[in-house]
Structure 1
Amino acid sequence: SSSSSSGSSMQGSSGCNALAHRDGGGNKGVTSTAELTEGFGLHDNSTRVVMLSSLTHHAGILNWDDMQSQRKYDPFTSYALSKLANTITAVELHRRFEKASEPPGGCAWGNDSAVSAHPGIVNTSLATNYFKTQGLAQAIPALAPFVNSFVDGLGAAAMRSTRNSADVLLYAALAPAQQVGGRYVVDGRVGKPAAEALDSSRAAELWSTATQLTGLEIHPSLR
């Protein structure tokens, strides 16, 4: 799935996926979340990592035997899995930020934080093309023209504009860490993520799987 970055007045703000981020030119260079977070917690400047989630993460299933959907690929299933992984990663990364900031004999709130955010169902080609090619349009091709017209009207009336959806991501990037750190942001407020996103054992397994798939090690300060 695609990733998004939000600029902010903080020293650093990064948007990424659970496993990797391909550069805009489509080059082979891939930067993993582990690389992006290396050194976080080792400086005095505030850093915010925003993981782009989705409401569909509630339908995500962690298929440990086929995390890359190589055996069987379904667009919605893979998308939901990627968004669940992003949400889990944000919760776990924030937990590790906090742990890394704990001084001997006490606990202090760290400068670095991680947040996941659902920008809403946005009126982009990603959403409209999905609705136009799945469901009835896929099962009964003759209905495609009617489905296309309906989706076009629905997009204009019910979906968020890209500008409005950006507001959610700006809130996730700029709100105080005490308010959104380790949380799931939806509609400009803190929402409730899937229970699996809060399962620390699932998070540990996901991080272990990520290191195996990317061949990268987590920075010692975040282990």
Structure 2
Amino acid sequence: MATQPLPSLDAVLDALFFVAERPLALAELVRILPEFPPAEIRAAIGRLEAKYGGESGVRLREAAGGWRLETRADLKDWVLRLKRVTPFRLSRAALETMALVAYRQPITRAEIEEIRGVDSSATLRLLLDRKLLRVAGRKEVPGRPILYATTRHFLEIFGLKDLAALPALADLDQEAVPDGEQPGLPLFRQEPPGGWD
């Protein structure tokens, strides 16, 4: 019986990114595809990024330490019509709290409340429930308060490669991104972990 020739690496990666429900890291792709050298896998990712650029309705984007297919942000309204879901939205209080954690992590509830000037316990619970924040341990001070940090899901939702990709605080314009805006929608075949809300 003759062996089947290997399909093109671009086609294999295209299929993997299409069915993946989370960003795929280069190390994971190298493990899954031992028949292809790592340099060829990286080059193929570059070709797919170019293929999905321009007028394509989807793009291959680096986020949370890997790559994922996502819809273009300007096509969000049509995708949401099909999915029949409301866009991911957070209140101003949740966005403020999440920004404090993102830029000052690990941070305690008391430190957040000192800056915001209001009780943040309900907001922190919401962000923990949505898997945008996680408990990162306890601070070594009297009372050992809980420390909060962002999650990999936070990076995925906001399309960030890693925390270094956060914009510099000096560059932020509060009016530049409306509440709840996100860069694009991942091509999920089912509801993402934690739901769409």
Give yes or no for TM over 0.5.
Answer: no
TM-score normalised over the length of structure 1 = 0.21
Structure with greater Cα Rg: 2
TM-score normalised over the length of structure 2 = 0.23
Greater share of residues in helix: 1
